[in-house]
Amino acid sequence: MKPMRTRSRNATSQQADPQTTDQCELEMKITVLVVEDDPLARLNIVNELEMWGFHVYEAANVREAVFIVNEAARIHLVVADLDMAGSIDGVMFAAGVRDTWPTIEIIVTSSQSQLNRSALPKGSRFLPKPCSAAEIAYAITSMTGQRTSTFRKKDSGA
């Protein structure tokens, strides 16, 4: 099984003006990497962000995340759980992202109530768990300078 997996959905089944659609597609091509070791939490975040129109990569651990950041054409933002098992935790990973790829925005999530936020990389945003995918999507749009109105949750087809 490959450590890198991407998924994408078609924009919408409704007819739209091609010029408007092209503009929306250009504005909505924010690429996000979700790093979460809990498979159900990761699946939920990835599926929801895709429905919001983001291009999403996912990683179950820091090793996979580093591989994806190195191999992907462009990652705009990383959403990383700070409470990951392994020799490199989410705080160290986020700091490494900031040092190595300073243009990548970082959102960190944690269920730790006593988190030392000064340990987080400068310019990163903290979201306490549990947080909804809508909260994450709003943080992404505000951090990347995209208009929030550009992003609308797409019908899942269900």
Q: If pLDDT is split at 50, 70 and 90, which confidence band does 119 have?
A: confident
DSSP string, 55-101: EEEEESSHHHHHHHHHHSS---EEEEES---SSS-HHHHHHHHHHH-
- The vertex-154 CA angle with 107 and 2, nearest 5°, equals 60
Please, are residues 58 and 4 in contact by the beta-carbon 8 Å criterion?
no
Fold of 22-145: Rossmann fold (3.40.50)
Please check whether residue 80 is in contact with residue 94, taking contact to mean a CB–CB distance below 8 angstroms: yes
Could you tell me whether strands 55-59 and 5-7 are parallel, antiparallel, or unpaired per DSSP bridges?
A: antiparallel
Kindly list the domain boundaries of the chain, sorted by start residue.
Answer: 22-145
Quote the CA–CA distance of 43 and 20 in Å, as a whole number.
Answer: 30
What is the rounded distance in angstroms from the CA atom of residue 22 to the CA atom of residue 25? 5
**Whole-prediction pTM:** 0.74
Q: Give pLDDT tens digits for 71-106.
A: 987 899 999 998 887 777 788 889 999 999 999 999
